[in-house]
Amino acid sequence: MDRDKAELRWGIEQRLEFIEFRLFWEGHVNRIDVMQQFGVSVNQASSDLNRYIALAPDNMVYDKSARTYVRGSDFDCKFRPPDAAHYLSQLRLVADDVLEREDCWIPDLPPYASAPTPVRGVDPVTLRAVVGAIRRSEATEVKYQSLSSPEPRWRWIAPHAIAFDGFRWHTRAFCLTDECFKDFLLSRILGIRGSRESETSADEDRDWHSEVTLEVGPHPDLSETQAKVIALDYGMRGGKAKIKVRRALLYYALRRLGLDTDPDARRPQDQQIVLLNRDQISQTAQGIMQ
């Protein structure tokens, strides 16, 4: 099977993954599904279905009454393991108008809503310039509005990565003004002028290239039943879950999980989880701040 997959061209493999996706999530697939999704001919769609049957004969059978292929009783994914996060991300991307409806592999989207998030005004020209500087290992001069300064200032930065804190997009960069690696919000970059070769290597950003592990568990004041529910929510094993995060993003991760304050400051039902290795993480956070 692995050898057969390795010999597939990318376009064919994409269509076979699509067939498998539909079988797993919808329970059925037919030629018209493949034709509409990829714009291929009847013959090509039939060939793809036959090819999939040859690779995974137990995964689908033809239902003559429904005139479609249905998921086999011994179905086993061959191309990509079932991923709930991948399915749910498609829902979100379509709802946020990031992914076009026709590009989504889910035929009938279930009703979906999410808590509103303020729009972050990242200018596409700014993003293009930052990404270009990253790719070319260049420093670029940006007009940046920080909270500590009443007026925006021009400064040279050498960006090497893009980061998301759960709400806002940043670029991780070496600041030539402050002579250290920092996070710069893309929405606060008001202008860009000039670029030059960077003399700083991204490899020197130790906080970006190292990770810390957050160990979280149910709040100790929850009832036994409540603690079991929280353990299910976070996929805990043995009463705890381990979450890896880059040191550079530790502050944002703690804030997003509500672990940046004293757990006794909120009701257990609101706090729900606590940091089990708080002392270790606190020392790490202090080291980053210094």
Count CA within 13 A, CB hemisphere, residue 216: 27
Residue 290 pLDDT > 90: no
Q: What is the pLDDT of residues 143-164, one digit of tens each?
A: 999 988 889 999 999 999 999 9
Phi first, then psi, for residue 237 (nearest 5°) are: -125, 130
Per-residue pLDDT tens over the stretch 202-252: 999 999 999 999 999 999 999 999 999 999 999 999 999 999 999 999 999
- How many angstroms separate the CA atoms of 13 and 8, rounded? 6
pLDDT band at 70 (very low <50, low <70, confident <90, very high): very high
Q: Which of 104, 89, 286, 99 is nearest to 207 (CA)?
A: 286
Q: Is 124 exposed, middle or buried, given 0-12, 13-18 or 19+ CB atoms closer than 10 A?
A: exposed
Q: Parallel, antiparallel, or unpaired for β 138-144 and 68-71?
A: unpaired
Q: Would the pLDDT of 28 be above 60?
A: yes
Closest CA to 24 of 64, 90, 70, 55: 70
Q: Contact, 29 vs 77, CB < 8 A? A: no
Looking at residue 9, its pLDDT comes to 79
Which range has the top average pLDDT, 114-118, 180-184, 285-289?
Answer: 180-184
- In the predicted model, is pLDDT for residue 102 greater than 90? no
